[in-house]
Structures are given as C-alpha cells and as structure tokens.
Structure 1
Amino acid sequence: MNSQNFFAVTDPSNGPFAPSGESGTPPRWDLSDLYASLDDPAIEQDFAALTSAARAFSEGWKGKLGQADGVALASAFAEYERIEEGLGRIGSFAQLGFAAHTTDPTWGRFTQGVQERITDISADLLFFSLELNRLDDEVLEKISTSPDMAKWQPFLRDLRVFRPYQLSDEVEQVLMDKSVTGRNAWNRLFDETMASLTITLDGETKPLGAAFNTLTSAEREKRAAAAEQISAVLADNSRLLTMITNTLAKDKAIGDKLRGYPRPSSSRNRGNMVEDEVVDALVSAVDEAYPRLSHRYYAMKAKWLGLEKLEHWDRNAPLPGVADTVIPWENGKEIVLNAYTGFDPELGGLVNRFLTHPWIDAEAAPGKSSGAFAHPTVPSVHPYILMNYHGRARDVMTLAHELGHGVHQILAGQKQGYLNSATPLTLAETASVFGEFC
C-alpha cells in the first residue's frame, strides 16, 4: 500500500491513522471514509438525526405491522434499513478505532459511549423484528405476495428461524439494555486485557502477539523461550481470564435457558442457518478421524525435525528446508494479488482496491487487537481489514484469507443492501478459505 494514499485521521493518543514513513512498512488504516475523527461534528449530527428517525419510526409503525399491505410494509423496511445502516456506520467507526487502539482509554470511553447511545436508539427499533415474528404465517404470506416485498424475503426467512425462541417485548428490552453492562462489557475487558499483555524476548518488552509469532521460528530455543513467556503471562492473569470466561459462559447459559434453546450451540447453529444434526454429523466425523490423522502427522513432523517427541512449542515450527525468512509487506501483497488475479482478473481488481487504498491495518503495533478480521461496515462505504503482519508465510495466508472476506463483503453489500448482506459463517468462511487456496 502506497503511503500517499493515506489521509490522516486524528487519534488523540497515538497520532493520525497513517503508515510509518519507512518504505514497505505494513500500513495502518484510515477511517475517514466513515468519520474524520473522534470529535467529527458529523457523528453528533448523525446521532441526533437517527434518534429522531427511530422515534418517528416507532410512533408510526409500532403495533400496526399486521394491518399494513405489502407496499406499506416494504416502505417500512426501507426506512428501518436506512436507520440501522446509519447506526452501523457510527458503530463500525467506534469498533474499528477501538480494535486498532484497544489500550487507549480515549478510544475506550468513546466506544463505550457509542454502544450506550446505539442501544438507547435501538430501543425504538426493537419492536419491528419482534412484531414481524409475531405475525401469523398466513398474514405474513399474504403481505409478502406484493412484488414490493420481494427484496425483504431473505431477511424475513432468516428472522423467522428465531421465532420459537423469542421472548416478550419487555424481556427482550431488558436483555438488550443489560448487554451494555453485561456481555459487551466483559468482552471489552477481555480485549483490553489481552492487548495490554507483554512478554520479554531477547531482552526486549514486546506485545504478547510477538511471542505467538516466535512459535513459528526455525530456532527451537526461541520457540521454547516464547512458549515459556506465553505460559507465564497467561498464568499471571489466569484469575481474571478465568472469571471473564466463566461469567460469559453463565451469561449465555441464562439467555439460552430463557429462550429454550436445546443446547449451548443451538443459537449459533441457527445464526449460521444450519441444523444441530448437521453439526453433529460433522463433529462426529472429525472426532473419528482426528486421533488417527493428527497422531500420524505429528509423528511425521517429529521425524522431519529430528525429534523423538514434539513439545507444544514445536507444533508450528517450519519444516526442515523451508527458508525461515521474513516476507516484506510489499512482497506479501504481490503474492496475494497475483494469486487472485491469476484465478480471475475481476477478482484481482477487487483485491487491488484494498491494497491500493487505506483499508487495511496490518502493522503489528503495541496496544492493538490481536488476530485478524474483515469488518463489512456498511454498503455505502467499504469493508476494512485488521491483521498483524510479521512477515511470516502464515501472515501472507492471513492476508489472502481476510481479503476473501473483504471481496465477499463488497459484493454482498453492493448487491443486497445492509439488512440482506449479513452472511452466516458457513458461507462467509467459504470465501476466505478460497482466498487462502488461490
């Protein structure tokens, strides 16, 4: 990514969202296509407009969906989508900024405030999905015969999957309100905790992610030292991390019990539009084959590495003869772009948009969220990709993976709109894994 393609976005703690001046340094993204900065007046203006629009929407439609014809209901859907996309734009800006600067208290306060305000506004929108699900099948089918409702059929189909598990309006409202200080708060605490953890390698203090990256080193001593550091820092924080995990598990168990889900995975399976039995079949197949395949693979790898027994820090070691070299960012980009373009030039053109615009945050910076993701934001803007590029082969694969998501999100958002562009993991991961194998 060329540095002159970046535009500064004010960050009160860490300066602008811009890449390092060094040529070839992995980039930081620029979020100004969403909002210019944390104090962009457009954020407050949009919040005010969306608050009024949501209130008017509730006053105009609450309790009346069953009496609407197809033309009227289609117009309600269009307004609902417009409001939700507006909230999604602000929420995306906050989430992305927090992911890039997780330990920055200014971004933490901003993101918390945005979550609270979005939840307040959403209180006026909650009735829409709840009321739609309460409509009898015959009534909804009659309304849906209108050609104007054709666009919204996929949304209604997916919404009705959750109909048996829907609670009263009052309980749904309480669960939504409590999420800000419940599940969301614990998730934020986990993210901030993990982003703040550091280790000491080669006499230097580094982010925890650097230790995980060292587990791919060809030097066994370095891998062992990194593993020791990881174990030590996680042990030091095990009390907090265990509490977060147990609290989130109990929070989910309470919700599942209230809704009547048959098992802990049921809500996720329905979100992925797949039956529990299908997942059971997959798990059974993996359980049956995994011991045989994994033991065979690790025995072979130990032999290749000249070891009698693999330790856990040897699992990601490169194989003998594989060059343990750093792949510069520019080279990694070229490898991925050529792979996509070689498969299909049009697909390569979409990938190139990410690589020539400031839509990727790839520098492995302190205080940044670990891992990688592609965020679709809203169809009126474009997706953003976060990763931590250390120059390993697996980082190039990660870039290809997330670009698969990004291309999919562009195509889905442009063609389907905000409400219909959401994709279950069972389909979304097809695009990303395809990218890795290009």
Structure 2
Amino acid sequence: MSQRLRQTWDLETIFPGGSSSEEFDAFLKKLAGDVDALAAKIGGMQPPSSADETAAFDSVFDDVQGISSRFRQAGAFVSCLGAQDQNDQKAGQLAARVGSVRARWQSVLATFDSLLQNTEDGVWEAWMSREVVSPVSFNLSESRLQAREKMSPELESLALSLSVDGYQGWSSFYNTIVRHVRVKFTENGETKLLSAAQAANKLGSADPKQREEMGRNWEQAWADVEDYCSDTLNHLAGFRLALYEKRGWENVLREPLEINRMSDQTLETMWRVITDNKPVFVEYLNRKAKLLGTDKLGWHDVDAPVGESADKIPYDDAAELIVEQFRSFSPRMADFARGAFDQHWIEAEDRAGKRPGGFCTALPLTKQTRIFMTYSGTASNVSTLAHELGHGYHQHVMDELPTFSQRYAMNVAETASTFAEMIVADSLVRKASSEEERLVLLEDKIQRSIAFFMNIHARFLFETRFYEKRREGLLTPQDLSDLMVEAQQEAFCGALSDYHPHFWASKLHFYNTGVPFYNFPYTFGYMFSTGIYARAQQEGAAFANKYDALLLDTGRMRVEDLAQKHLGVDLTQPDFWQAAIDVSIADVHTFLEMTKDRV
C-alpha cells in the first residue's frame, strides 16, 4: 500500500462531472423511461393462472431486478455528492429527482407485488421451483406476504406518490437544517464556527474544559433550530402513522421488525438481557467519573478518554493496521480493504462542509462501494473506518448474488461492520505500548458497549414513546426534550449528572425514512457480532469461510433462521444474548481491576 494515501474518494469513475454530470443526467432519463415502460407492461398483465404461464413472468422479474440495481447505483451516487459538500445545491436537486422517479418505481413494484399476491398457491409454488427464480424464492415470497398486509396497489401507489413531497420531503429538509448548523468553539484563544460534523469530533475531547464548552455550545446550537427540527420530526412521524392506520397496523414496530426480518420476541429478549446486566456498566460509569475527578459523569463526559490519550494515529498507519488485522482473520477481507484504500473509495478528509457521521454505500452496477467519514486521528476514528470497511466487505461477498438476494437488513448489516470493528479494536488493545495506553484503548472499546446498551436504548425508548404520543397530536420542542431526557435517564439508570435534551434534534437517525426506528438494529448487530466474534476466537482461521457463508445468507433468511443455521442458537431465548454481553462485561471487569488503585 502506498504512503500518503489519498483521503478523498473518487466519484469520477462512477459518473464523471459530479453534480453536473451529463452522463448521470442521461442515466436518470433512461431509468425514468424504463420505469414507465415496465409500468405499462405490468399494468396489462394478469396473475398466471397455470404453471405453464409462469415463464412469461421471468422477463418481468429480470427487468424488476435490473431497475432495482440501477436505483441503488443512482441513490448511492447522489448520497455521496450530498455528503461530501452540504452546500452543493445541485446535489440536492439530483436527490429530489431520484426520489421522484423512485416514487414512480415503487408504484410499479406495488403493482408487481399485487400480481404476486393474487397468484394461486399451486401456481406460485410451481413458479418458485423454476431454476431462474428459485434463488430468490425467499425474497419473492416475502414480498408476496407483505403485499397482503398493505392497502390496495392503487392506494399504495398514491401514498408513495404523496410521500415525495411529504414523508421524503420532511426527511430531506432535515439535511437542509443541518447544513446551516454552526457550533462555536474556542481553541488557542481563537473562537471559530464549526460545522456539525467538525463539532461532533470535538465532543470526546480529553480536555474537560473544552469538552464542557463544546457540550454546552452543541446543545445550544440545536436548541437554536429546535422549531425547525420539531416541525420536521412531527410531520414525518404523522405521515408514517397515517399510513400505518390505513394499512391497519397498530404496532409502530411492525414495519421496522419486518424490515429487519426479526420477531418481537427476539427484540424483547435482547433488551431484557441488556437491562438485567446494566448494573455492571453503571459501575463502570461511576468508576470513570472518579477517574475524571467528578462525582457523576455528564452526558458529554461519557465518551471522554481516561488517562493519557494515545498519540494521534495517521491515516496511513490506520490503513496499514486495518489491513494487517483483517488479514489475521481472512485474507479475502484484507484484500478487499487494501483495494478500497488504493482505488480511492474512501472519503475521510477532515474539512468543513461535510455531513456529520459515517456510512458505506453500495454501487451494484460497478460492484464497488464508497465509504464516508471524517478522520481526525483518534482510536475511535480507526474503529469507525474499520466499521465502514466491514459494511463494504459484506456487500463484496454478496456481489455475485441476484439483486433481490442482496437486500439484507440493517441489523445484519451492522453485524458485519461491528465484527470488523472488533477485530481492530482488540488489536489496538493488544498492541498497546504501555499500560496507560492499554487502559485508554480498552476504555474506548467499552464506550461502544455503553453506546449500544445505553445510548441506543435511550433512542429506542424515546422513539417508541414519541410515536405513541404523536398519535394524540403535535409535540412541542419542550415535549420532545422532556421525552428525550426521560429516556436517557432510564437507559443510563440515572448514572449521569446531566443529559442531552436536544439529542432528538441532532440525531439524523430519527429522520430516516428508509429504516424506521433506526436504533435497535445497531444493538442487535453489536451483540450478534459479539457472539460471532467469540465463535471465531474459538475456531480460528477455519471460521473465515463460515463467516462468509453466514454473510451470503443475510439477504435470504430471517435472523432467527440465520442464527440457527450458522451458529446453532435460538435468538428468542436469553442464552445467546447473555453469552454475547458477557464478552463486554469481561472488558468492564478488566477495566475495574486496572483502575482499582487509581481512585
């Protein structure tokens, strides 16, 4: 791997010209035309009435898969444009244009699903047994079942059309709000205004005064835009609830559970095991507070480092470390990561104007991915980079599968990313050059457990309660802040001295329309990957092939079946979850032992 790696990604190899790309313009025009053509073709079709007629559906099915892939390519490209420069208004226009065509496409899919829904069972079974169709029989059967749980195709199409300037529009407006957020920050006697992405990287500063200032200013920055954010969140949720009502869905978790292909019993068991084991994590938070010289941690102290922070890790060194540690588990995984660095698939530069957070997005037509983050040299940044490369490897493993079989859910997506993150985080701890550095890195690792078991639990509690109250009418910004603090207090077991009332405003995930309840899948993925990681530690190099086999099945099985097939465990029972959380508890016990003489 060459030295001084480029920290900006290459989008020119996808569509040259950025948001002014003539090639992308032509791509969208053809995509729109093909959607209309398929709509006309499907609109005149009737469900097959015999096994002999199912062959006529094969070409339609091929068209549906092909257009789906092209939409993923287009969506990935415009998301990259918008993330790299929030001031690129043309990128916003392109995103709206893609959204408009996608709404028409979703109407076509609703009609297609209606054909699936109305096909008689005997004919359906004959079609699913055809060689060209059987590899995606799970996915088509899933679509057929889901279609039976929705409104008529005409009403679903109408709702999807209205969502462009309703549901999706409110989600897009959140990006507009974030683009204008500026957070005051003083450094070396100079006060400057940081973008939300830059400010977020300062919240975990080792300097308590700097951390306190940034926490206060961060909260104020979001309080300044609370009216815009509350309107956005209220109307987004209102649209979703109205749609659920028309479909006859009373449980707001019904859609996210189906999207994640998991049962409510699995979700309840997971949260119950976490809640039962929280006392040891509270003990960790209390010990950390004493190490930082305070009685209780504040919200923005939770991610603060303990002890002397390790030196900044240059980007090139992070890349070498990640590739090396991936190779210790799987040469295929290492080769993928090396290619991502060398082919400029990663946008990591620390600069103004970028969107906060990180993501990995797939480009199925070119069988590539692109990774977005803001790298500032911390151990946490290294873990984030490994996390996103884990997402990329997951997609890489599935590249040769049919399009429909690549549609894995968020919970198992977070499994692959967190597994990759664990490989690197454990390596950093093992390679520590001193006891002090080992403590800092171990504590950074434990912070992720706190995030998944407490922070994300707070998000889940907030969102479920918000939706219940939203049924009764609009909530004020103060209502939302009160709900947020209540959820944080419960999730953290009252262990903190103060909380983050406007977290609901600042967190992109609450505004996501693609995956409602963009919270519990993270915790599922973290714990599921912990269980997989423990298995990998036991079985050694032989497990790499089993891991790839598990990833291959993530788009064509429910998670309970996936776990039973590849791990031999029952996710509806507490045993697996307890074994997974025990791995994190062992880290806490090590931390408590290492720090017992420091307080």
Q: Give the TM-score normalised by the residue count of structure 1.
A: 0.88
Aligned to 1:293: 280
Q: For residue 313 of structure 1, what is the aligned residue in structure 2?
A: 300
Tell me the equivalent position of 2:96: 112
Structure 1 residue identity aligned to 2:410:
L
**Structure 2 residue 344 is matched with structure 1 residue 358:** yes
**CA contact under 8 A between 2:350 and 2:376: conserved in structure 1?**
yes
Counterparts in 2 of 1:233 and 1:52: CA distance versus 1, 3 Å: closer
Equivalent runs, 1:169-318 vs 2, <5 Å: 169-202=153-186, 203-290=191-278, 292-318=279-305
1:345 aligned to 2:331?
A: yes
Q: Is the 1:373–1:385 Cα contact (8 Å) retained in structure 2? A: yes
The residue type equivalent to 2:281 in the other structure is S
Alpha-carbon distance in 2 for matches of 1:236, 1:401: 32
> 367, 387, 403: which one pairs with 1:418?
403
Q: Superposed, which structure 2 residues align to 1:78-157 within 5 Å? A: 78-157=62-141
The answer for the alignment partner of 2:10 in structure 1 is: 30
| 1:374–1:263 distance in 2 versus 1, CA, 3 Å | same
Q: CA deviation at 1:31?
A: 1.5
Tell me the SS of whatever aligns to 1:135.
Answer: coil
| Match of residue 387 from structure 2 | 401
Q: 2:456 aligns to what?
A: none
Letter of the structure 1 residue corresponding to residue 350 of structure 2? A
Please say if residues 389 and 417 of structure 2, whose CA atoms lie closer than 8 Å, have aligned partners that are also in contact.
Answer: yes
* Alpha-carbon distance in 2 for matches of 1:144, 1:313: 53
Q: Which moved more, 1:182-191 or 1:161-170?
A: 161-170
1:58 paired residue among 8, 15, 39: 39
Deviation at 1:139, TM superposition (A): 2.6
- Quote how far apart the aligned CAs of 1:358 are: 1.6
Shift in Å, 1:2: 6.1
Partner residue, 1:49: 30
Deviation for aligned residue 1:396: 0.4
Question: Who is 1:17 aligned against?
Answer: none
Q: 1:181 to 1:238 in 2, by over 3 A?
A: same
1:431 to 416, 420, 426: 416
Cα displacement (A) at 1:93: 1.6
Number of corresponding residues: 415
Runs of 4+ in 1 over 6 A off after TM superposition: none
Structure 2: distance between partners of 1:224 and 1:48: 51
Aligned to 2:583: none
Secondary structure of 1:201's counterpart equals strand
Partner of 2:361: 375
Hey, what's the Cα distance between the residues in 2 that align with 1:124 and 1:344?
41
The answer for unaligned runs of 5 or more in structure 1 is 4-22
Structure 2 residue identity aligned to 1:204: K
Aligned identity (percent) is 23
Change (3 A) 1:365 1:132: farther
Q: CA deviation at 1:57?
A: 2.6
- The answer to whether the 8 Å contact 2:117/2:148 transfers is no
- Mean CA deviation greater in 43-52 or 101-110: 43-52
Displacement of 1:87 in angstroms is 3.0
Counterpart-to-counterpart distance in 1, 2:90 and 2:40: 36
Residue 163 of structure 1 corresponds to: 147
| 1-structure distance, mates of 2:48, 2:30 | 27
Q: Against the structure 1 CA distance between its residues 200 and 61, is the aligned structure 2 distance closer, same or farther, given a 3 Å change threshold?
A: closer
Code of the aligned partner of 1:315: V
Deviation at 1:258, TM superposition (A): 1.6
Cα distance between partner residues in 1 of 2:368 and 2:163 = 27
- Residue 307 to residue 207, structure 1, CA distance change in 2 (3 Å): same
Report the 3-state secondary structure (helix = DSSP H, G, I; strand = E; otherwise coil) of the residue aligned with 1:279. Answer: helix
Deviates more, 1:140-149 or 1:113-122: 113-122
1:384 is paired with a residue whose SS is strand
Q: Secondary structure at the match of 1:170?
A: helix
Q: 1:388 aligns to what SS in structure 2?
A: coil
Let me know the Cα RMSD of the aligned residues.
2.1
Indicate conservation of the 8 Å contact 2:106/2:157, yes or no.
no
State the alpha-carbon separation in 2 of the partners of residues 403 and 232 from structure 1: 34
| Amino acid corresponding to residue 376 of structure 2 in structure 1 | H
Give the CA deviation at 1:356.
0.8
In the other structure, the counterpart of 2:567 is: none
The C-alpha deviation readout for 1:289-338, integer Å capped at 9, x for no partner, is 32x13321111111222322222221111111442x32211111112111
Equivalent pair of 2:35/2:104 in contact (CA under 8 Å): no
Residue in structure 2 matched with residue 20 of structure 1 by the alignment: none
- Tell me by how many angstroms 1:379 deviates: 4.3
Verify the 8 A CA contact 2:70 2:365 in the aligned structure 1.
no
Q: Is the 8 A contact 2:28 2:98 kept in 1?
A: no
Residues 56 and 236 (structure 1), Cα distance of their counterparts in 2 relative to 1, 3 Å cut: closer
| TM-score normalized with structure 2 length | 0.66
